Every structure is written in structure tokens, then in C-alpha cells.
Amino acid sequence: MKTVAKFEIGFEQFIDESGKAVQKLPKFAEKPAELIKMYRMMTLTRLFDTRAIALQRTGKLGTYASSLGHEAIHVGIGAAMKEEDALAPMYREYGAQFWRGVKLSEVLLYWGGDERGSDFSGPAHDFAWCVPIATQCLHGAGAAMAFKLRKEKRCAVAVVGDGGTSEGDFYEAINAAGAFQLPIVFVVSNNQWAISVPLKEQTACETLAQKAFAGGFQGVQVDGNDIVAVRDAMEKGLAKARKGDGPTLIEAMTYRLSDHTTADDATRYRGKEEVDAAEKKEPLLRLRQYLMSLGEWDDAREKALIDECKQQVADAVKEYENTPKPSLESMFDYMYAELPEALEEQRAAALAAGETESAHG
């Protein structure tokens, strides 16, 4: 039997879990200021996350999907992308979105049951949160197709989870991205769990990066708790895409330290040991240690940063809580560019019925 094709998947890490650089860092990481900027956003995201969960617990927010443990992946994505690039997120990538200009209060509005959260302050062309798993991969590919056809030097980034890689839409997107050589980077946020389903029951694949071979392009695995590795891989993938050399798939290895959402109770299906083990590898810790080893960070600066972020979160919560609920009309007024006559009667009826919270016996 003669061999007709060969493939390899590589793994990249720059800063290990003890905060030590295991190899020469890429250019962007040589400037402490840049690392601190990323560390700052990771910290803000985490403090936001803690507060959002608290809001949900006290009935002030709906179901909320935590990003705890994913901060390096999300902020790494945000830091590597250009403003004109398009992000097609799933539902947890707050770090990337904050970096791109989405307001904390907008995330709260969304999980607070208000569509206005998706009319956010981030790039107007970015896609909103996407609940139907993996469908956003095709939106990213479609955006990349638009950029390519218009000969714009823009890229799309689609983020999907380990579970999401089992969906047909994920695969159709990578196959299309390969076939059309689209300027897109797929990031598989591999946090080991799809709600209660562990990776080994999701697929027999040794890596998720190898799924790229089914699209005819290269995949790479990175330490998703090492923001330097994530951003470096993102920058390489985006540069390749911008050059017209097609798509890349990045599998970022991390761990979902929280419940799946506030509606979930992870203790039902996974043990404390594995969570404790994963916590030792979490992304903020190692970056802080690295910065400290450079003499670029200390407890005072840490405390100042936390106070500053907490204030920012508090302001966002106030803004969220002071936002009145959307108008009744808004149920109808964004269905079409112009309200079809057929809907006018229903709109009138709804307005006539008025506020009906109470009208439900």
C-alpha cells in the first residue's frame, strides 16, 4: 500500500502553568505594556463574570453563560483581530467582545432578556451571540466570502466549542472555507465539556485540530490558558487569511471552570478533583506570575486594577438596572424593514392588550 497523504498536528505553548516562558516569546509579547493590557482585560472579564453570576442568583439576570477559565482564549482573539475583521462568536466570548468595544452593560442586557444588548457598541458588522450551536461557523464563512468577493483585506473569526464540532454546520463551514479558500480563522474553544458530555464521548478524535484536515487545510493545537500562544496563533492565522492563503483552525485547550450556565449544576456529572487540577492551569494566574517575574507587576498594582475593574463593573450594572424594558412595539418593529400590512392588525391588538404580565392568570 503506497502512502498518498500525510498529516501532522502541532501543539504550541509559550508560558507554562507555572508562569515560566518555555520558549522565546513572539514580538507582541516582548512589550510588558501589551501583556499588561491583555491581563487587564482578562481581569475585567473575570470580575464581570463573577458579578453577572451574582446578579442571576439574585433574580436580576436571566440564565447566564460564564466565561470563567476561557479568558485567555477570548482576550487573545480580541487582541489579535483588527477592528474591520468580523467576529462570529458563540455565547461566552465576552473578553473578545469587550476588547472590540462591546459594553459590559450590553452583555447584561442580552442575558437580561433584552434584544437591545445585541445592538451593541462593538463593530457594527460583528455578529451577535449565537445560541444554535455551530451555526455561527457558516456566518463567519459567509462574511469571509463577502470580504473575499469584495477584495477587502478583512478576515472573519468564528468561535465554536468542542461540542459544537460535532454539528454538521461546523463541518460544512470548514469544508466551504477550504473549497473557497476563505479568509477565516476557526477557533475551537475546547473546554473539555459540552454541558455534561465529556470530550471523549463527543468524538473519537485524538485532537479537534485534526478536523481541519476534513476541510483540506491545517489545524493547530495551542494551550488555551496561555494568552501568548492563543494570540500568536490567531495572528498567524489572520495574517495567512489576509494574504489570501485561506483558512486555519485553532484548537485552544482550556477547561470550563464554571457550571455550563447558571441553569446547570456541574457537580452532577464531574468530580471536584478534575476541576481543582484545572484551576491550577487557569490563565490569569500564570500571566500574573510571568509579569511579576519580569518585575512588571506587584500586589499593589493588582489591587489597584481590581478596584478599577470592580468600579467599571458596578457602573455597568447600574446602567443595566436603570434600563427600562423594551417597548411593546419593538416586538413587531424589527421583523421587516417595513411592517407588512398583515402585521399591523396584530401590532394594534398587542398594543391594545397592553402590558400583560398580570393578564396571565
Partner 1 sequence: MAKITLIEAVTMAMAHELEHDDSVVVFGEDVGPNGGVFRATAGLQERFGKERVFDSPLAESMIAGLAVGMSAQGMKPVGEIQFSGFAYPAFDQLISHAARMRHRTRGRLHCPMVIRAPSGGGIHAPEHHSESMEAIYAHTPGLRVVMPSSPARAYGLLLASIRDPDPVVFLEPKRIYRLVKQEVPDNGEALPLDTCFVLREGDDVTMVTWGAMVHETLKAAEAMAKEGVSCEVIDLATISPIDYETILESVEKTGRLVVVHEAPRSCGVGAEIAAEVAEKAVYSLLAPIQRVTGYDTVMPLFRREMDYLPSTARVVAAVKKTLED
Which H or E run includes 169? Answer: helix 168-179
Site string for its own copies, 116-145 (x = CB under 8 A): ------------------------------
Q: Which residues contact 80 (CB under 8 A, 6 or more apart)?
A: 230, 231, 234, 235, 238
CA distance 291 to 36: 8
Which residue from 181, 192, 203, 210 is in contact with partner 1, where contact means CB under 8 A?
203
Does 21 participate in binding partner 1 (rule CB under 8 A)? no
Does 251 participate in binding Mg ion (rule CB under 5 A)? no
269 a catalytic residue: yes
* Footprint of partner 1 on 171-200 (CB under 8 A): 172-173, 175-176, 179, 194-197
* Footprint of ligand TPP on 144-163 (CB under 6 A): 161-163
Does 195 participate in binding its own copies (rule CB under 8 A)? no
CA distance 311 to 62: 22
Does 191 participate in binding Mg ion (rule CB under 5 A)? yes
List residues bridging with 159 in a β-sheet: 187
CA distance 226 to 133: 25
SS3 category, 213: helix
Which residue from 146, 195, 205, 339 is in contact with its own copies, where contact means CB under 8 A?
205
Q: Which residues contact 84 (CB under 8 A, 6 or more apart)?
A: 123, 125, 152, 154
Does 223 participate in binding its own copies (rule CB under 8 A)? no
| Residue 347 buriedness (CB in 10 A; 0-12 / 13-18 / 19+) | middle
- Residues forming the site for ligand TPP (CB under 6 A): 92, 131-133, 161-164, 189, 191, 193-195, 256, 260
What are the catalytic residues? 256, 260, 269
By CB under 8 A, name the binding residues for its own copies: 1-12, 166-169, 171-172, 175, 178-179, 181, 201-207, 209-211, 213-217, 220-221, 246
